[in-house]
A and B are shown apart, each in its own frame.
Chain A
Amino acid sequence: MAVMTKAGDWKSYQRVLLPPVKNLHQLHVYREHGGYETLKKVLTEMEPQDVTAEMKRSSLRGRGGAGFPTGLKWSFMPPVKPDVPRYLCCNADESEPGTFKDRQLREYNPHVLFEGSLVAGDGMSLKACYLYVRGEYADWITHMQKELANAYDSKLVGKNMLGTKHNMDIIIHKGAGAYICGEETSLMESLEGKRAYPRIKPPFPAQSGIWKCPTTINNVETLACAPLILGRGADWFASIGAEKNPGPLLYGISGHVNRPGVYEYPTGMLITDLLEIAGGMRGGKKLKALIPGGASVPVLRADMIEGVTMDIESLREAGSMLGTAGMLFLDEDTDMVAFLRRVAHFYHHESCGQCTPCREGTGWMENLITRIDDGEGNLRDLDLLLDLCDQMEGRTVCALADAAAWPVRNTIKRFREDFERRCRPAVWAVNA
């Protein structure tokens, strides 16, 4: 008998973010399948405060990793002042290792993102949205620009959208490929043409964002959920998946599985079910570890995932985080020291260098892990690494230092025997 999970009857789930429709990226196909009808409804029948209230009622939580309630975030925007512009910014700088779900949306369903941005714009009474896309996604930028131009030609974006008095522009901005630009305040600095150093908060973006104007920043998948919520209703959305963290979710599955890829299912799926969907472990090997939400979230041992579901609460109880739902499965042959060395190298390379604990700490982290991986480490290096994590967490302007420290701390804690095996003993035998 099938076990009932928080995801409910997921086997009969119908995809809504990436529906199985051929050429859905083309405007006429998107419109044939009801595209931009929600925008019409929002512009002609709803007041901005109703849009935000509906988003709040849906309990949608941000899909970019932080998991903050989206409707609540929208309500943080201050009252409209005629002489002060307000901005929406879509964070499409998807750079977290193991995360690639937003790319699928941009490729196969870009109009749902445009429609979501326009709906959000109406809900927050603003006139411009920047789509900040990571530089490495050059092909997808061209693809999106072409579709955006079609939407402009059809009067769906720009002045007098759909024949109403509403105006809003969407600007696609190409990033230069820095991981730090995914952090919301450095993204704003980058948009303004400055070096992408994170800003100290407060002020928060809702008070002082792009060009010191009120700004809201949302992830691609989060904005893509907005037309679904306002078109089908908050109750429909809230009925999908886990109660406190509902809705459809794009699971980016990678690592040592037979069928890696992006899978759309409700939130609250059992990790074991998702592994089965992805074809099980490659070569019939055993699972050793799982990173459930992108490289920065704490790693889980295989024995820790039994009964754990993919939602914020369940993963928190298990000792990890949902993050971006970029799931990286590692098999029994994985060398955890080499894995951590690669992760540490990434964070060292991507540290912006503004804060000393992060700039120096990530470098020392990589050096120490490299020494252990090369067989020249000492047992005391493990405690030194943990001490280094203490010196980095919570001591920097942005969360990159924390994101670099969490995998190190948790991988050592949960796979200590792997590290100890590679270290030289603390006391050397002395020949008499």
Chain B
Amino acid sequence: MPSSGLGGKCLSKMFRINYILIISWFFLAACNRTEIMSDSVYGDPGDGIDSIPVEAVLAEPANYTDRIMAVAGTVHEVCQVNGCWLMLRSLETGDGLRVHTEIEESGEYVYTVPTDISGRHAVVFGTLSVTEEDMEAHFQEDAPGKDPALTMIASGVRVSPEETR
């Protein structure tokens, strides 16, 4: 029937318009989301501290130990149990800096990081120190292999949303 034929045409046109509108909405929403994606901060945001690349710190650790600083690098590994430590590694040499989150006297964590941030760019804030022997044993237990001689107890970690590797 002509009327139904006309109705069918209108309906399919309406579906097409709706389809385009829905696709456009998803596209715009995605664009919008990309715009608002920003760094995630865990613990102290460490505002106002200029970061030093992990490569520079690992090259001359004596210049940086025992002072509060910010170190930037790529997250290589993260504690998969609690998110209580992460490893920043130099992409050039493969050397690493082990970063621990702060803990309370009772042994409770005051913040942790997500366990899925490997490959992301991060800036960590804290005091750099040479790894102590008793902690070394714990690291070997957690992540056996080549261990870094440098450790940082970080008061905060800033993780960027995009991967760097």
Q: Which residues of A contact B (CB under 8 A)?
A: 49, 65-68, 72-73, 75-76, 78-79, 201-202, 204, 206, 312, 321-323, 394, 399, 402-403
Segment touching A, from B14-22, B86-94, B103-111, B142-150: B103-111
Residues from chain B with a CB closer than 8 A to the CB of A79 are 45
Q: Assess the A75–B111 pair: CB atoms within 8 A.
A: no
B66 to chain A minimum Cβ distance, whole angstroms, is: 13
**Please, which residues of chain A bring their CB within 8 A of the CB of B112?**
201-202, 204
A322–B106 alpha-carbon span in the complex (Å): 10
Once the chains bind, are B111 and A402 in contact (CB under 8 Å)? no
B45 to chain A, nearest CB (A): 7
CB–CB B44/A75 < 8 A: yes
Which of A76, A78, A403 has the most chain B CB within a 10 Å cutoff? Answer: A76
With contacts A75-B45, A76-B43, A78-B41 known, is A204 near B105, CB below 8 A? no
* Centre residue among B44, B45, B105, B107 by max chain A CB count within 10 A: B105
Q: Which residue on chain B has the smallest CB distance to residue A77?
A: B45
A323–chain B nearest beta-carbon distance, Å? 8
Question: Which of chain B's residues have a CB closer than 8 A to the CB of A76?
Answer: 43-44, 110-111, 156
> A399 with B110: in contact, given A72-B44, A75-B44, A76-B44 (CB under 8 Å)?
no
What's the Cα separation between A179 and B106 when bound, in Å? Answer: 17
B46 to chain A, nearest CB (A): 8
CB interface residues, B 79-129, toward A, < 8 Å = 83, 102, 104-112
Interface residues on B, range: 10 to 19
Chain A residues within an 8 Å CB radius of B44: 72, 75-76
Is residue B155 contacting chain A, with contact meaning CB distance below 8 A?
Answer: yes
Smallest CB separation, A219 vs chain B (Å): 12
CB of A322 within 8 A of CB of B107, answer no
B106 close to A402 (CB less than 8 A): yes
Known: A75-B44, A78-B41. A201 touches B104 (CB 8 A): no
Q: Which of B104, B107, B109, B156 has the most CB of A within 10 A?
A: B104
Q: CA separation between A286 and B105, bound complex, in Å?
A: 30
Give A195 to B24 CA distance when docked, in angstroms: 46
The reply to whether B45 and A204 form a contact with Cβ atoms under 8 Å apart is no
Minimum CB distance partner of B83 in chain A: A202
Q: How far is the CB of B39 from chain A (nearest CB, A)?
A: 11
Q: How far is the CA of A49 from the CA of B111 in the complex (A)?
A: 21
Supplied contacts A68-B104, A204-B110, A321-B106, 5 more A-B pairs, CB within 8 Å: A65-B105, A72-B43, A202-B83, A206-B111, A312-B105
Closest-CB distance, A88 to chain B (whole angstroms): 17
CA distance A49 to B47 in the complex (A): 10
Query: A403 vs B107: C-alpha distance in the bound complex, in angstroms?
Result: 11
User: How many angstroms between the C-alpha atoms of A49 and B48 in the bound complex?
Assistant: 11
Q: Flag if B107 contacts A68 (CB, 8 Å).
A: no
Given A78-B41, A202-B111, A204-B111, A72 and B106 contact (CB-CB distance below 8 Å): no
Q: How far is the CB of A55 from chain B (nearest CB, A)?
A: 12
- Tell me, rounded to whole Å, the shortest Cβ–Cβ distance linking A224 to chain B: 20
CB-defined contacts of A323 to chain B, threshold 8 Å:
105
B residues near A68, Cβ cutoff 8 Å: 102, 104-105, 110
CB contacts (< 8 Å) of A75 on chain B: these are 44-45, 155-156
With A202-B112, A204-B111 in contact, do A66 and B106 touch (Cβ < 8 Å)?
Answer: yes
Residues of chain B lying within 8 A (CB to CB) of residue A65 = 105-106
The docked-state distance in angstroms from the alpha carbon of A126 to that of B127 is 29
- State whether A72 and B105 are in contact (beta carbons under 8 Å apart), knowing that A78-B41, A202-B111 are contacts in the complex: no
B147 to chain A, nearest CB (A): 23
B110 CB contacts on chain A under 8 angstroms: 68, 73, 76, 204
Bound: A72/B154 CA distance, A: 11
- Please name the residue on chain A nearest to B113 by beta carbon: A202
Closest to B108 in A: A399
Minimum Cβ distance to chain B for residue A34 (Å) = 32
Across the interface, do A201 and B109 meet the contact criterion of CB distance under 8 Å? yes
- Top 6 nearest A-B pairs (CB, nearest first) are A66-B104, A67-B105, A75-B44, A68-B104, A399-B106, A66-B106
Q: Residues of A contacting B41 with CB < 8 Å?
A: 78
Q: Contacts A72-B44, A75-B44, A204-B111; is A66 near B105 (CB within 8 Å)? A: yes
Known: A72-B44, A72-B155, A75-B44. A66 touches B108 (CB 8 A): yes
Cα A321 to Cα B103 with chains together (Å): 14
| Closest chain A CB from B42 CB (angstroms) | 9
Known: A72-B102, A202-B112. A402 touches B45 (CB 8 A): no
| Docked complex Cα distance between A321 and B83 (Å) | 26
- B140 CB to nearest A CB, Å: 19
Closest Cβ–Cβ distance, residue A293 to chain B (whole Å): 9
Can you report 9 residue pairs joining A to B where beta carbons are below 8 Å apart? A66-B104, A72-B44, A75-B44, A75-B156, A76-B43, A201-B112, A204-B111, A206-B111, A321-B106
Q: Which of B43, B104, B106 has the most CB of A within 10 A?
A: B106
A138 to B67, CA, bound (A): 47
